[in-house]
Amino acid sequence: MAHNEFFTLAPALAADQTLSPTLAINQRVKELWAAGEQVYHLGFGESRFPVHPKIRAALIAHADAKSYLSSLGIPELRAAVADFYTKRMGVEATPDRVIVAPGSKPLLYAFQMALAGDTILPTPSWVSYAPQARLLNRSVLRIPASPADEHRLTADALRQTLAQSSEKQHILILNSPSNPTGQMLAPELLAEIAEVCRATHTLVLSDEIYALTAHGHQPHVSMAHFYPEGTVVLGGLSKHLSLGGWRLGVAIVPPGAAGQQLLAAVNKIGGEIWSCVSAPVQYAALAAYADDPEILAYIAECTRLHAARTQHLWRGLCELDIPCARPDGGFYLYPSFDGWRGALAGAGVFTSDDLARHLLDKWRIATLPGTAFGSPPDELSLRLSSSYVDMESDAQAAALLARHRSGVDADALVRDHHPALAGALGNLRAFLASLHE
């Protein structure tokens, strides 16, 4: 509804005020749970581990910090982030290139607002990039990719998409490891993409928020390593430290005068919209970015469990012959059900939206449809998340961690103490068997 008797909505919101698909599915699962239904929740991506005690103590110790702070972030935190990225993430950073904000999401929005040009997105890509661009009345061009090639991004496909833009400058948003596919962009590909970007005046917003959740079989390499002059690196505490609700995101702009001009523009947006990150959270973040061996060990421990859970789900899909790229990091998978298209049509399923609905209604498996990530509606891809199953409550998450610490190896933990994950795979098997009847 674009207008009523009292007001008219702004054009960017008049056509679409639907809730983000992630929030909508979560709402529906909660309703089913409240009605006593067993639902396997593979629809919501949220790292669920407890707050690290040192970070918790830092937050409590600064509860009295109540003044407004600089919209760039406190100097100590900007310095800590720069050191951490230089030492741990392979991004040579200096404090004057860092800005912090209430999450990387508002930073992604602010950078899109600050820069001219079309937004270029791989397909599939995270749910919020395209809606943010639409709110800003920016054009989005999608780089096509096929499930047959595991949706792999190529420099050629990027080149072809850029050729369709009539703008002088372009903004490419990369996300490695990826939500929704879990894939990392290999260093050779990043080097090729850097060449294309240099030649076409394309700036990269490199969303590396899952970098510290790499599963270990492939190291994470930042796009800034190949394209320092044109890459903004984004990250935060939401994933590797399970602090999504604390709202702390960081960005590092390119070195030099151009980077400073961009930082000033984003800082202006931050200053006019969110003012600053909550003061106690900034002091807690100081502990998180202190390069403290205890906290680094905790990040590695949580990542080990994410990896075991996600790789287990991936192996389960492989055993069912469901095509799916092997995830390299994070807690997502993006399987394709295109091979069952004929049988699914018989069940009234023609699109990924239909498929997600069917799986929830008939098989009590919550997923997100590929359409939420920009895949064409008739491509039968779904995003599965391993992060919520068997960690539906904070108590369950803490209990799993405690069991792991008592000496149960991560793989054994997933095999023997993950009834919901086993149930979800069992229902998937039954669903596929029903299609062959």
Ligand X SMILES: Cc1ncc(COP(=O)(O)O)c(C=O)c1O
Q: Which residues bind ligand X (CB under 6 A)?
A: 45, 103-105, 126, 175, 179, 207, 209, 236, 238, 244, 249
In whole angstroms, the minimum distance from the beta carbon of 177 to ligand X comes to: 9
Q: What single DSSP character describes residue 274? A: T
Per DSSP, the residues of 242-289 read --GGG--EEEEPPSHHHHHHHHHHHHHHHHHHT-SS-HHHHHHHHHHT
Q: How far is the CA of 65 from the CAs of 54, 247, 373, in angstroms?
A: 18, 16, 39
Q: Which two tokens mark 25?
A: 């599915």
In whole angstroms, the minimum distance from the beta carbon of 387 to ligand X comes to: 10
Calpha distance 174→122 (Å, rounded): 7
Place of tokens 């800005």: 99
In whole angstroms, the minimum distance from the beta carbon of 349 to ligand X comes to: 27
Calpha distance 10→12 (Å, rounded): 6
User: In angstroms, how far apart are the furthest CA atoms of the chain?
Assistant: 65
Place of tokens 């079989």: 217
In whole angstroms, the minimum distance from the beta carbon of 234 to ligand X comes to: 7
Is the separation of the CB atoms in 165 and 118 below 8 Å?
Answer: yes
Calpha distance 222→268 (Å, rounded): 27
Q: Which two tokens mark 412?
A: 């054994």
Instruction: Using DSSP, state whether 62 is helix, strand or coil.
Output: coil
Place of tokens 């904000």: 101
Between 179 and 352, CB nearer to ligand X: 179
Between 70 and 181, CB nearer to ligand X: 181
Report phi then psi at 37, rounded to 5: -85, 145
Between 222 and 351, CB nearer to ligand X: 222
Between 45 and 327, CB nearer to ligand X: 45
Is the separation of the CB atoms in 116 and 365 below 8 Å?
Answer: no
Is the separation of the CB atoms in 78 and 252 below 8 Å?
Answer: no
Between 40 and 210, CB nearer to ligand X: 210
In whole angstroms, the minimum distance from the beta carbon of 429 to ligand X comes to: 28
In whole angstroms, the minimum distance from the beta carbon of 78 to ligand X comes to: 17
In whole angstroms, the minimum distance from the beta carbon of 41 to ligand X comes to: 15
Q: Select the residue whose beta carbon is closest to ligand X and give its number.
A: 103
Is the separation of the CB atoms in 203 and 232 below 8 Å?
Answer: yes
Report phi then psi at 63, rounded to 5: -60, -25
Between 210 and 298, CB nearer to ligand X: 210
In whole angstroms, the minimum distance from the beta carbon of 127 to ligand X comes to: 8
Between 241 and 422, CB nearer to ligand X: 241
Between 240 and 404, CB nearer to ligand X: 240
